[in-house]
Amino acid sequence: MAVLAVPQPYDFERSLDRFTFWGVDRANVWQDGGLHRVINGREVRIEAANGGVRVEPFDEAIEPAVRKLIGLEYDLEPFYAFAHGDPVLAEAVRRLPGFRPPLAPDPFEALVSSITAQQVSLHAALAVRSRFIVRFGEPAELAVAFPTRERVARASEEDLRALGFSTRKAEYVLGLARADLDFATLESLPDDEVKRRLTAVRGLGEWSADWFLARHLARPEAWPAGDLGLRKAVLAFYPDVTDVRAASVRFHPFENLSAHYLLAALRYS
């Protein structure tokens, strides 16, 4: 067991509520105030602690995934200073003290989740995602490990359609699992090249690539302008905006964190 320090203020439950808000997530399970996730074959419990989070078990193999999951890759202090210059963001920061957006620890999981969420509600997407996890993942005590790329590659379209995937999405997920795409190299590439490589894979458009940059790689300037939720948030808080993609300039160089805070502010409004 170890306590991993998190810059304060930090609100553990508010920061990770996306794992419960849209429904049950079988890969990220809440139990008695803690989040359970399978990392490197072991179920890990993460819970709030004084000055950070308590992690059990904890070692050098588990630490990177936990750091990503709780959003430690974000440097929030410069964003807070920037937000004070924008009345909407300033109010969002005031109303959401301790909010630190989480990140998706696994690149394959992040992309499969984006395919699952295409053109459906997040409630429906999470239901399909959970059935997919239970069918192809390895169960632990409470959580289920997200399915590996290798196991999914051996599945059939019929297997995925039985879980609620459309024929097109089943093709996309299997194509991604079987694609010649090296996830490890993406971390070292500039944003434009990451997007180019991702959108070359059938089923991954600009929306999926933008969210991968935002929610897995934590790239500061990622701005998923095609996201319906973000569009609603921007138009609700900035009535003068007519082009959501072009509006990213007012949030530069903190487009990613601005998007997360605007989405959270709309959810809690």
> Smallest Cα–Cα separation from 222: which of 189, 259, 177?
259
Task: Assess whether 141 and 185 both reside in one domain.
Answer: yes
Place of tokens 């053109």: 119
Rounded to 5, what percent of the chain is helix, strand, coil? Answer: 50, 10, 40
Cα Rg, the chain, nearest whole Å: 18
Please report, for the domain that includes residue 178, its CATH number: 1.10.340.30
User: Is the peptide bond prior to 87 cis by the omega test (within 30 degrees of 0)?
Assistant: no
User: 42, 58, 73 — which closes off a domain?
Assistant: 73
Domain boundary residue, one of 21, 56, 73: 73
Give the pLDDT confidence of 106-144 residue by residue, as tens digits.
Answer: 999 999 999 999 988 888 999 999 999 999 999 999 999
Please name every residue paired with 46 in a beta bridge, in sequence order, or none if there are none. Answer: 35, 55
At residue 62, does pLDDT exceed 80? yes
pLDDT digits (tens, 9 = 90+) for 147-176: 999 999 999 999 999 999 999 999 999 999
Considering the domain architecture, whether residues 9 and 113 belong to the same structural domain is answered as no
For residues 218 and 266, membership in a common domain is answered with yes
Could you tell me the residue range of the domain that residue 194 belongs to? 74-269
| 65 and 21 within one domain | yes
Among candidate residues 79, 88, 95, 99, the one with its CA nearest the CA of residue 252: 79
